[in-house]
């Protein structure tokens, strides 16, 4: 019987939890957004030959107005991948089992629509393989 989490004789990983653990990615730090419509980069650009799937985004919004958080490709004109509302002075967690994919060379970024009365703080996690 193969070791738990080992690859079978076809090379396929037989333990999905182990695969997720071995390919875990996170943004490394919490991004502080102090100005509306300004990119906050979530980690570095995706390396050649890999795909990063952002599966969870945690937003701590200290502002006194509601805001819209946008997940996009970094840079002017970068494609929007996701938007969601965050009420004033709350923390919200967005998650998806499949995640939002970014391919080699793309750098994920977030923006907020409003920081009146307090900044917005964002972190993200997922997988990269």
Range of the domain at 32: 25-128
Contact 70, 54 (CB under 8 A): no
In the prediction, which pLDDT does 2 show? 45
**Does 20 reside within a domain?**
no
**Does 12 reside within a domain?**
no
Helix (H, G, I), strand (E, B) or coil at 8: coil
**Does 13 reside within a domain?**
no
Instruction: Tell me the pLDDT band of 117, cut-offs 50, 70 and 90.
Output: very high
**Does 96 reside within a domain?**
yes
pLDDT at 36 over 50: yes
**Does 14 reside within a domain?**
no
- What would the mean pLDDT of 103-109 be, rounded to a whole number? 97
Please provide the average confidence, as pLDDT, over all residues in the chain.
91
Q: pTM for this one?
A: 0.86
Q: What is the pLDDT of residues 45-100, one digit of tens each?
A: 999 999 999 999 999 999 999 999 999 999 888 999 999 999 999 999 999 999 99
Total tally of structural domains belonging to the chain: 1
Query: What contacts 87, CB < 8 A, 6 or more positions away?
Result: 61, 66
**Does 112 reside within a domain?**
yes
In the prediction, which pLDDT does 7 show? 54
pLDDT at 20 over 80: yes
Query: What contacts 124, CB < 8 A, 6 or more positions away?
Result: 26, 27, 42, 43, 54, 56, 57, 58, 108, 110
Residue of 24, 27, 31 lying closest to 45 (CA atoms): 27
- Looking at the chain, list the stretches that DSSP marks H as alpha helix, in order from N- to C-terminal side: 16-22
**Does 39 reside within a domain?**
yes
CATH number of the domain to which 75 belongs: 2.60.120
**Does 76 reside within a domain?**
yes
- What would the mean pLDDT of 29-46 be, rounded to a whole number? 95
In the prediction, which pLDDT does 17 show? 87
Contact 96, 14 (CB under 8 A): no
- What would the mean pLDDT of 16-22 be, rounded to a whole number? 88
pLDDT above 70 covers what percent of the chain? 91
In the prediction, which pLDDT does 8 show? 56
């Amino acid at each position: 019987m193969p070791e738990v989490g080992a690859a079978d004789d076809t090379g396929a990983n037989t333990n999905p939890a182990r695969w997720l653990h071995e390919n875990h990615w996170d943004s490394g730090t919490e991004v502080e957004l102090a100005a509306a419509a300004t990119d906050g980069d979530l980690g570095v650009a995706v390396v050649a030959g890999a795909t990063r799937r952002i599966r969870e985004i945690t937003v701590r919004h200290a502002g006194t107005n509601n805001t819209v958080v946008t997940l996009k490709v970094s840079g002017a004109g970068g494609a929007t991948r996701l938007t969601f509302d965050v009420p004033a002075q709350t923390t919200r967690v967005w998650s998806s089992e499949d995640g939002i994919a970014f391919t080699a060379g793309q750098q994920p970024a977030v923006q907020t629509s409003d920081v009146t009365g307090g900044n917005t703080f964002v972190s993200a996690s997922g997988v990269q393989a």
